[in-house]
Amino acid sequence: MKSSTIEYGDGLLLVPDRPRVAFMPGDGIGPEVWAAARPVLEKAVAACYGAGRALDWVELPLGQSALSSHGDLLPERTLRSIRELRVAIKGPTMTPVGSGHRSLNVTLRQSLELYANVRPVRHFPGVVSPVLQPEALDVVIFRENTEDVYAGIEFERGSAGCASLRRALAELGHRVSADAALGVKPISRKASRRLLRMAFDHALRHGRRRITMVHKGNIMKATEGAFRRWGYELARQEYAGRVLPASSLVAGHDLPSGAVLLEDRIADAMFQDLLLKPALFGVIAAPNLNGDYLSDACAAQVGGLGIAPGANIGDGVALFESTHGTAPDIAGRGLANPGSMILSGALMLEHLGWSEAAHCVQSAFAAVLRSGRMTVDLAAGREGIQVLGTQDFAAAVRHEIRPP
């Protein structure tokens, strides 16, 4: 089977049977969790498709190892190849503190225009959670990735930029204390709509019944309020009859089959509702900051902060990544949990349209946890758990993979 490059046209990926897919192991525990995850993904593909499909991995330099070999944490060649190959997976990378380096993750997301951060969150039986019914939460969060207060438009207190912005604000009738630092929060219609479009499409494709936009539009009317407004506008303009605003439903009438309900929640109320009524939610769409908070709060609620998978997706390019950091305290000791990397790999398989293989990985992973076999981070303080190292845990997952 000849390997070839994934193509993209009319909003769709065209995936050959042996696609070239990029990987970057990353720093710290990255190489360990990647070495553990890769054979799991390969076994799932082989179990589901036999000799009919395979992944052709292409390693790209990134992070500390790239600095040694190429003199750059993020060589231009890596960016170019990810753009060309269209699908990539990476381990965590270290961001040196206070050295002037920008986070590699932020640079990758911005350079490749990966405008949606996608985080599915659900509970795996056997994992301890701080709530009584963790299984009630099963959501996919779409977080806008390029704007909001993360755009990096900030001015230190006392700086020339700060003084100049203060003067401009004064002209607009806003008085700001001379002692203040200032930041700008851009939220555009274009970026909001493309993020919401991806969330709507996901909900429709996966038979989800509800999309919840989370905003603080009661306070930030011009920015987060507009995010909400643009969501309803998009539903009306492009998804009529398929994505239905809650206000358009006639009382007492059910949602038509195949349609998705669109509603919105103020962010503070959402954090309460996720704890008190988690089963209400399916797909969540939010601007950058709300989405950041929500992703980690939801992952913690199911006890899975360390095993949450993640993806950064743009038009025709997607980068899958473990959501934890480089864990320098345990790097090289065989203790790291490869779960986030394995599940991010499953997301990647799903993105390729290889849902059977993705499902195989998720089921095998769930089976190992259910049987009480865990890495030390999940086992801590619990009785009756068989503690496994990184590679043994991954081998157990591999062993549980069954053809569909």
Q: Is 138 a catalytic residue?
A: no
Nearest approach, Cβ of residue 118 and ligand NAI (Å): 14
| Catalytic residue of the set 8, 190, 221, 268 | 268
Question: Tokens at residue 97, please?
Answer: 């503190």
Cα–Cα distance between 179 and 202 in angstroms, integer? 45
Q: Cα dihedral sign for 85, 87, 91, 92?
A: positive
Provide the token pair at 256.
Answer: 């038509």
Would you tell me how many other CB atoms lie within 10 Å of the CB of residue 119?
Answer: 23
Instruction: Please choose, out of 174-182, 192-200, 249-257, 318-326, the segment that lies near ligand NAI by the rule CB under 6 A.
Output: 318-326
Decide if 150 is catalytic. Answer: yes
Start-to-end CA distance of the chain, whole Å, equals 23
Cα 344 to chain centroid distance, Å, stands at 9
CB of 94 to ligand NAI, least distance (A): 4
x-or-dash string of contact with ligand NAI, 178-217, rule CB under 6 A: ----------------------------------------
Q: Which of 73-81, 193-201, 265-273, 330-338 is the region at the interface with ligand NAI (rule: CB under 6 A)?
A: 330-338
Residue with Cβ nearer ligand NAI (81 or 312): 312
Note whether 103 and 95 are within 8 A (CB): yes
User: Could you confirm whether 43 is annotated as catalytic?
Assistant: no
Give the pairing type, strands 138-144 and 283-286.
Answer: parallel
Looking only at residues 366 through 395 of this chain, which bind ligand NAI when binding is defined by CB under 6 A?
377
How many Å apart are CA 59 and CA 243, to the nearest integer?
40
Q: How many residues bind ligand NAI, per CB under 6 A?
A: 20
Distance of CA 195 to the CA centre of its chain: 13
Query: Which region, judged by CB under 6 A, interacts with ligand NAI, from 73-81, 93-101, 169-177, 186-194?
Result: 93-101
CB within 8 Å of 27: residues ≥ 6 apart: 63, 64, 65, 91, 92, 93, 94, 326
**Nearer Cβ to ligand NAI (192/390):** 390
Q: Taking CB under 6 A as the rule, does residue 319 contact ligand NAI?
A: no
- 66 burial class (0-12, 13-18, 19+ CB within 10 angstroms)? buried
Does 292 participate in catalysis according to the annotation? yes
Contact 288, 143 (CB under 8 A): yes
| CA 117 and chain centroid, separation | 4
Could you say which of 78, 117, 312, 326 contacts ligand NAI (CB under 6 A)?
Answer: 326
Residue type, 188: S
* Contact letters for ligand NAI, residues 102-141 (x by CB under 6 A): ---x------------------------------------
Which residue of the chain is nearest ligand NAI when measured via CB? 325
Spot the catalytic one: 150, 232, 239, 264: 150
Euclidean distance between CA atoms 283 and 365, whole angstroms = 23
From the list 64-72, 90-98, 123-131, 258-266, the region that binds ligand NAI by CB under 6 A is 90-98
- 325 is a site residue for ligand NAI (CB under 6 A): yes
- Kindly state whether residue 344 participates in binding ligand NAI, applying the rule CB under 6 A: no
60's tokens: 């790209």
Given 231, 282, 303, 306, the residue binding ligand NAI (CB under 6 A): 306
Positions marked catalytic: 150, 216, 268, 292
Residues that bind ligand NAI (CB under 6 A): 29, 33, 92-95, 105, 306, 321, 324-330, 336-337, 340, 377
